[in-house]
């Protein structure tokens, strides 16, 4: 008997869906144990379908971190593409996890998602109530009961993605749902996100964290060049595209202080992740109405015809 991969292995996809800010990225990062998806206190920061890959014994679980599902504006192409990408992620999934910010109760967003899930009753869904660190057990149990009354969930989990509590049971559930078959990725892969994209996402995260309310999400970061040197260092040039001249000023800050701070934070984290020296150069450019121009977001693998 050979012990080649494929004999006892299983492998499949898990779609994590939920309203913006439910904690999807935090959960996936906690499960994978590395920073893959971008976590930010601001809503709608996840635009890519980043995958995190977890190994659980002989099982490979590929998590799809979807953009949050929300009521997209009629005229906003980017928003609609984001929501369409999120639903698309559930079609081929072997398991679906509906993640809910339990501290917010049964919100309008969550009700809308459940209504849509009910259209396809053959798909089994695991309800996962997150942020239990923020609430009392009685309120939590009441919400769990209430939600199970309006939808036939296959299982219910209660977790704190932030405090890393309770998600082992969730991973064990996901592992059981994965079909038998060979691994789709080498065992040591944690994400299939290209480094260039990951580096751009990191800078975007630092921008959001530094600017918070001051900046709308009409902003994108692109890695323009990536040059590896013989001494093991890498030079990365990135452009931050904004919609208005005023935004450019905010990002640059007084005498360039803001962009310097952001660049330094992004560089330090990149060095930590890549374990090599990084020279990071940031440019800021105004690109008017980029949100309505499909060619500017096909980069993220979103369907701009949605």
Contacts with Mg ion, residue ranges (CB under 5 A): 24-25, 46
Q: How far is the CB of 20 from ligand GDP (least distance, A)?
A: 5
C-beta closer to ligand GDP: residue 201 or 280? 201
| Contact by Cβ (8 Å): 66, 24 | yes
Q: How far is the CB of 68 from ligand GDP (least distance, A)?
A: 5
**Residue ranges that bind ligand GDP, judged by CB under 6 A:** 18, 20-26, 39-41, 46, 68, 130-131, 133-134, 160-162
C-beta closer to Mg ion: residue 24 or 80? 24
Q: How far is the CB of 258 from ligand GDP (least distance, A)?
A: 21
**E-strand stretches of the chain:** 10-18, 50-56, 59-65, 95-101, 125-130, 155-158, 219-228, 234-242, 278-286
Burial class (CB in 10 A: 0-12, 13-18, 19+), 105: middle
C-beta closer to ligand GDP: residue 134 or 189? 134
Partner interacting with residue 41 (select from ligand GDP, Mg ion, none; CB below 5-8 Å by kind):
ligand GDP
Distance CA 31, CA 55 (A): 10
Q: How far is the CB of 100 from ligand GDP (least distance, A)?
A: 10
Q: How far is the CB of 135 from Mg ion (least distance, A)?
A: 21
C-beta closer to Mg ion: residue 44 or 56? 44
- Token pair for 222: 């692109």
Burial class (CB in 10 A: 0-12, 13-18, 19+), 102: buried
Partner interacting with residue 134 (select from Mg ion, ligand GDP, none; CB below 5-8 Å by kind):
ligand GDP
| Contact by Cβ (8 Å): 15, 97 | yes
C-beta closer to ligand GDP: residue 100 or 242? 100
Partner interacting with residue 26 (select from Mg ion, ligand GDP, none; CB below 5-8 Å by kind):
ligand GDP
Distance CA 209, CA 262 (A): 9
Distance CA 165, CA 185 (A): 27
Distance CA 214, CA 113 (A): 30
């Amino acid at each position: 008997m050979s012990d080649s991969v494929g004999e006892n292995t299983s492998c499949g996809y898990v779609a994590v869906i939920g309203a913006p800010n439910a904690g999807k990225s935090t959960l996936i990062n906690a499960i994978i144990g590395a920073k893959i998806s971008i976590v930010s206190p601001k809503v709608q920061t996840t635009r890519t379908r980043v995958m995190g890959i977890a190994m659980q014994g002989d099982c490979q679980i590929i998590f799809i971190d979807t953009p949050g599902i929300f009521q997209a504006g009629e005229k906003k192409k980017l928003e609609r593409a984001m929501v369409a990408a999120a639903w698309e992620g559930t079609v081929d999934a072997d398991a679906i996890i509906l993640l809910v910010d339990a501290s917010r109760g049964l919100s309008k967003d969550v009700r809308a998602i459940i209504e849509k899930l009910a259209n396809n009753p053959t798909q089994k869904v695991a309800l996962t109530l997150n942020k239990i660190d923020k609430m009392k057990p009685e309120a939590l149990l009441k919400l769990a009961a209430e939600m199970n009354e309006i939808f036939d969930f296959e299982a219910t989990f209660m977790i704190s993605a932030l405090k890393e509590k309770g998600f082992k049971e969730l991973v064990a559930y996901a592992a059981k749902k994965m079909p038998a078959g060979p691994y789709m990725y080498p065992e040591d892969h944690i994400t299939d996100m290209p480094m260039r994209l990951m580096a751009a996402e990191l800078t975007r995260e630092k921008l959001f964290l530094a600017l918070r309310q001051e900046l709308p999400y009409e902003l994108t970061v692109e890695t323009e060049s990536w040059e590896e040197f013989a001494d093991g260092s890498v030079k990365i040039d990135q452009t931050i595209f904004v919609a208005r001249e005023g935004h450019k000023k905010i990002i640059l800050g007084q005498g360039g202080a803001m962009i310097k701070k952001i660049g330094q934070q992004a560089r330090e984290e990149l060095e930590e992740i890549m374990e090599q020296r990084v020279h990071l150069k940031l440019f800021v450019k105004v690109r008017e109405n980029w949100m309505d121009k499909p060619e500017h977001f096909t980069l993220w693998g979103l369907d701009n015809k949605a």
